[in-house]
Amino acid sequence: MCGIIGYCGPRNATQILVEGLKRLEYRGYDSAGIAVGLNGSLKVIKTKGKIKELRQKIPGDMISSYGIGHTRWATHGVVNDINAHPHTDCSGNLAIVHNGIIENYESLKNMLESEGHIFHTDTDSEIIAHLIEKYFNDDLEKAVKEALPLLKGTYGIVCIHAKDPGRIVGARNGSPLVVGIGKDEMFLASDVTAIIAHTKKAVYLEDGEVVFIKPEDFITTDINDKKITKEIEQITWELQEIEKDGFPCFMEKEIMEQPESIKRAMSGRIDKELATAHLGGLNLSTKELINLERVKIIAAGTSFYAGMVGAYLLEAIPRIPAIPELASEVRYKNPIIEKNTLYFAVSQSGETIDTLFAMKELQRKGATVLGICNVVGSSIARDSDGGVYIHSGPEIAVASTKAFTSQITVFYLFSLLLARMRDLSFSAGEKLITDLISIPLKVENVLSRWQQLKEMAIKYAHYKDFLFLGRGVNYPVALEGALKLKEISYIHAEGYSSAEIKHGPIALINEETPSVFLVPDDELREKIISNIKEVKARKGKVIAISVEGDEEIKDIVDDVFEIPATHELFYPFIMVVPLQLFAYYCALELGRNVDQPRNLAKSVTVE
């Protein structure tokens, strides 16, 4: 893994490939490279490090009409120039780039070595080049189709051959590929962000499909040569949405965009006249929704914490049992599919491999799975039984922020929809809608006071350990706050229900371990204050996120950030934003790369 770009057409492929790789930087990577056709042969240039290092290695006069490029996150083999993609065959005439993992690469490598193939890297990807070489007989597409059945694992593969100039072949199994259609030129990429500067027309490949592109056309088939007619879709994102727009980094931009992204998530979905919500795309009848007996939510990372909030809301508003489950565990535990149970697969990218595989396993067993995604045309969006787009706009920073608040917006709307079908009164539904509509303005209020959070972060950034504590619907917010701090500042942080502090974590309390408490003005407030006093009694430092006007809190904690009051079920929106900003400013204080934190990729496409 991680990013792929290919081009064939009248313009200089070298320039387009490097620009495309630059737009894929947000996914995270440790090396990069390109391969282009030149005078009947291939020229491969690759390096460990960033795109700027790759640029420095490329001659200014290296002009080509076709080529492929890649940014890599190491899985097999250390980070060095040799292990970077593209990889070539023995002749040097074939080059491939690959996202995914080939599980049987060792046995294939042994077979190919016994046939005389010589390997130069420690990667699993290189065997693909040699395997295609084994079957190549002046027809690259045919050779790819003969090689694919031998591969076990996941892949998005793009390849070129010097003896078939100007043409590119791609294949997909579990790792995304999209064809971009221009005027007398074609693109092939792992992500539309790589091609959005050049075209708004896209075709998304499905698993098991192979695409053959040349400047004027593309053909999609399965590996048995059966032609597949593909629908050309319009890319809805605009180029300026993937630019920093004056912000120093994407993460700050995306945090600050949340008032608007929350509005987009609810736009057109609220029915004030009936005090309910409309969610097009669920593909469920009113009877099916009324007959639901439980909901299960599968996700990973930040999306899992959004799912935890969603589960709490579903039990609190429509009073339906709901369980969040880690997608990585669902697939391998032989899940039991219960009658009248609805599943949600939640993923910003729609390509999270654990969530995608779990969804497919559930569907194989007869479950109905709806997707909650941000990326139109993503695998989960296409393969689910229905679902909801969150409409956050592109999220480029690796650490998710605005997607979290948009995902929980969808869960509020779905909870309202179910509740109004059951026993929630019109007036109660109307009150929830009023409170939900007020959230963007309250988030804006928090964002306007970023300077206070920056000063707080500078004060605390050099501590080595943190605890984040919340209760009820804010417990998953505490987990998300701890995750954000870990992801981008590399400070060790743990999230807990504040009620659990007595069951072990209190042993960690000392003067060097600050605790961040979430203190809403709800029925659990007094119990949380008791937990704070327990920490203070052990000389622990306490930061509180509390509601405006709570004077008692100010007297017992070291630092406090006040948030506007709201309905007790809506505090996750307002509680999570200061935690995002706190983590962000801690990372800046420590000199971290907030958009591309070490070891992390934006979309986890390998198990």
Name the residues annotated as catalytic. 2, 602
**Residues 6+ away with beta carbon under 8 Å from 17:** 5, 6, 7, 34, 36, 67, 68, 69
Tokens representing 210?
Answer: 């192979």
Phi, psi of 334 (to 5 degrees): 55, 65
Tokens representing 52?
Answer: 């700027």
Phi, psi of 451 (to 5 degrees): -60, -40
**Residues 6+ away with beta carbon under 8 Å from 113:** 119
Tokens representing 207?
Answer: 């698993």
Which residue is listed with tokens 């892949």?
Answer: 155
Number of alpha carbons in the 13 Å side-chain half-sphere of residue 229: 0
CB of 395 closer than 8 Å to CB of 258: no
Tokens representing 388?
Answer: 């909801």
Q: How far apart are CA 178 and CA 181, in angstroms?
A: 10
550-558 contacts: CB < 8 A, separation 24 or more?
550/519, 550/521, 553/519, 553/529, 556/529, 556/532, 557/517, 557/532, 558/514
Judge residue 249's burial from the number of C-beta atoms within 10 Å of its C-beta, 0-12 exposed, 13-18 middle, 19 or more buried: middle
Specify whether the backbone of 165 is left (phi greater than 0), alpha (psi in -120 to 50) or beta: beta
Can you list the alpha helix ranges (DSSP code H) found in 397-556? 402-421, 426-447, 450-460, 475-489, 525-537, 551-556
Number of alpha carbons in the 13 Å side-chain half-sphere of residue 280: 6
Tokens representing 390?
Answer: 């969150």
Residue 309 CA to chain centroid, in angstroms?
18
Tokens representing 374?
Answer: 């941000």
Q: Which residues pair with 380 in a beta bridge?
A: none
Number of alpha carbons in the 13 Å side-chain half-sphere of residue 351: 34
Specify whether the backbone of 53 is left (phi greater than 0), alpha (psi in -120 to 50) or beta: alpha
Phi, psi of 488 (to 5 degrees): -110, -20
Q: How far apart are CA 398 and CA 396, in angstroms?
A: 6
CB of 244 closer than 8 Å to CB of 256: no
Phi, psi of 108 (to 5 degrees): -65, -40
Which residue type occupies 324? P
Can you list the alpha helix ranges (DSSP code H) found in 224-257? 250-256
Q: How far apart are CA 294 and CA 485, in angstroms?
A: 33
Q: How far apart are CA 307 and CA 539, in angstroms?
A: 35
